[in-house]
Amino acid sequence: MTTAMDVVQLSRLQFGLTAMYHFLFVPLTLGLSILLGIMESVYVMTGKEVWRQATKFWGVLFGINFAMGVATGITMEFQFGMNWAYYSHYVGDIFGAPLAIEGLMAFFLEATFVGLFFFGWDRLSKETHLGVTWLVAIGSNLSALWILIANGWMLNPVGAHFNPDTMRMEVTDFGAIIFNIVAQEKFVHTVSAGYVTGAMFVASVSAIYLLLGKHIEIARRSMTVALSFGLASALSVVVLGDASGYTATENQRMKIASVEAMWETEPPPAAFTVFGLPNQATHRTDDALRIPWVLGLITTHSLDEKVPGITELVQRNEDHILSGLLAYSALEKLRADRNDANARAQLDQYMSDIGFALLLKQFRPDIENATDAEITKAAWGTVPDVALLFWAFRIMVGLGFFFILLFGFAFYLISIGCLLRVRWLLWVLAFALPLPWIAAESGWIVAEVGRQPWVVEGVLPTFLAVSGISTSNVLVTLFGFIGFYTALLLVDIFLMIKAIRLGPGHNVPQPRARELPAASGAE
């Protein structure tokens, strides 16, 4: 398994890098599309040309970002087939459906109307064009919904069962997959984070214009929209993020314990560790600064409910492994004789734990003979990288609260007409530009590193999901992606800076003079 683990690590690195890179573009698309809809709505309602110019300007930046986002997303879908073939076979029936719907419904909607958005300014009525803009925004958000339904299922696999005849998971309740609580909460949390990113982008670029004294009219109006939208979105992100922690399922408890570096179960309500140095080897958090009660209140919304610690969860997982071995033996019997009713009944009874037994495969092929030490080691292997999760979560949450303060204060100042005089705050807004991306990527690290060692939580270990390909194959494509994506990023940054430098009114398609005069009535 050692060589396979290398392929696993490289494939994880490849998917992680491409996903993180792709998510540089996604949140801005989500946020800017809604902001475009808001600005154009104001234009249609007021008829003021400045709002049309603002929509067109931010639309160009949206377009650059949208194109890059599409290009970087496609490679991830290929990786499912090439690098994660066993995963694709095992859960393709469930995972493939939301991805297909995303492509056919949401992305086609978005891609069709984005063309009309750019080239329809002088061909469509104001109201129709506004409808087009909102359809682009709805398409973007629906794309996110279906992708997050697929991703949410990996974290909380509901509405499916294992078919021992086909050796794959099959859908039993598509409604349960769509309305999966983890997916729905992840969706609203993620799109809100996208709205914060879009708002910060508009606010930062507007702040730069205001500091330079350029494009004042558009920058001032854009700033107002961005700050109000950003404040509402930042509040939503924090509230919805809290909700997703509160409704964490059994499968996600290990993630929460790891995020909090909570090694032992404490009497309720548990204390929150603000700062500390988690040590995975000693199972301790050194130099911890703790606030009593806070973790219990946040996680359980109660004073008397326990938050299980890592050690307790590991012990529970040892029991899951033992139970899973029963399912494993039943599956073996059933594959040998498909009419073995006892084996089928036993499999049905213990199937939910078979993934835990499969964790032993990393130590030996004949897992039925696993030793106590191997079972304990496999159970401790269900603990993700605690230090990474601990800090990624604190960066994300810290930035989330910073956004509320920043947007709130700036919105108050612009409401009373003072923002333009407080230049230091404009500088802060300008330099805050990369922060939403840092927060969003940290959030994905929490979500996906926190899912390890599972590719589908509790169902399929990551190391069993990878294709039987060579390390060199993965290395070649990995370096290929890094080179290609770096080039794309440079092009994206160059185009963005160029468009921002030119400013509104320069890089938008000018209205075409009518080539044919209208036929006169006399004719």
Partner 1 sequence: MRIEAVKLQICHVDAGSASALSCAIDRKHELIHINFLLPRCNRKSGMSRHPLLPEVTIALAVKLIVILAAALFVFSPKQRPRIDAASMQERLIGTSTELPQPTRSVLP
Instruction: Please give the residue ranges that form the binding site for partner 1 (CB under 8 A).
Output: 81-82, 85-86, 88-90, 165-168, 319, 322-323, 325-326, 328-329, 331-333, 335-336, 358, 361, 365-372, 375, 464, 467-469, 515-517, 519, 523
Structure tokens at 12: 């994880």
Nearer to partner 1, 367 or 426 (CB): 367
Range 109-118, long-range pairs (CB < 8 A, 24+ positions): 109/135, 109/138, 109/139, 109/142, 110/136, 110/139, 110/140, 110/142, 110/143, 111/70, 111/139, 113/139, 114/63, 114/66, 114/139, 117/36, 117/59, 118/59, 118/63, 118/509
* Nearest approach, Cβ of residue 490 and partner 1 (Å): 20
* Nearest approach, Cβ of residue 185 and partner 1 (Å): 31
Nearer to partner 1, 206 or 346 (CB): 346
Phi, psi (deg, nearest 5) at residue 371? -85, 165
Nearer to partner 1, 90 or 411 (CB): 90
Nearer to partner 1, 204 or 323 (CB): 323
* Nearest approach, Cβ of residue 373 and partner 1 (Å): 10
Q: How many CA atoms lie within 13 A of 433 on its CB side?
A: 11
Phi, psi (deg, nearest 5) at residue 509? -60, 125
* Nearest approach, Cβ of residue 365 and partner 1 (Å): 5
Q: Rounded distance, CA 497 to CA 491, Å?
A: 10
Structure tokens at 351: 């199937």
Nearer to partner 1, 85 or 387 (CB): 85
C-alpha gyration radius of the chain: 26
* Nearest approach, Cβ of residue 322 and partner 1 (Å): 5
Q: What is the DSSP string of 135-166?
A: HHHHHHHHHHHHHHHHHHHHHS--SEEEETTT
Nearer to partner 1, 115 or 434 (CB): 115
414: how many CB neighbours lie within 10 A of its CB? 20
Nearer to partner 1, 85 or 243 (CB): 85
Give Cβ neighbours of residue 150 (< 8 Å, ≥ 6 apart). 95, 98, 99, 102
* Nearest approach, Cβ of residue 344 and partner 1 (Å): 15
Nearer to partner 1, 94 or 295 (CB): 94
Nearer to partner 1, 90 or 153 (CB): 90
Q: What is the DSSP string of 326-392?
A: HHHHHHHHHHH-TT-HHHHHHHHHHGGGHHHHHGGGGT-S-GGG--HHHHHHHHHTTS--HHHHHHH
Nearer to partner 1, 55 or 323 (CB): 323
* Nearest approach, Cβ of residue 336 and partner 1 (Å): 6
Nearer to partner 1, 82 or 404 (CB): 82
* Nearest approach, Cβ of residue 252 and partner 1 (Å): 22
Nearer to partner 1, 100 or 476 (CB): 476
Give one word for 261, left, alpha or beta, with left for phi > 0 and alpha for psi -120 to 50. Answer: left
* Nearest approach, Cβ of residue 406 and partner 1 (Å): 43
| 199-to-99, 116, 323, 506 alpha-carbon distances in Å | 28, 24, 49, 22
* Nearest approach, Cβ of residue 167 and partner 1 (Å): 4
**Closest alpha carbon to 355 in 467, 466, 462, 468:** 462
Q: Report DSSP state, residue 173.
A: -
Q: Return the H-helix or E-strand segment holding 482.
A: helix 471-502
Cis geometry, peptide bond prior to residue 453 (ω within 30 degrees of 0): yes
Give Cβ neighbours of residue 382 (< 8 Å, ≥ 6 apart). 254, 313, 314, 317, 356, 359, 453
* Nearest approach, Cβ of residue 491 and partner 1 (Å): 15
* Nearest approach, Cβ of residue 440 and partner 1 (Å): 31
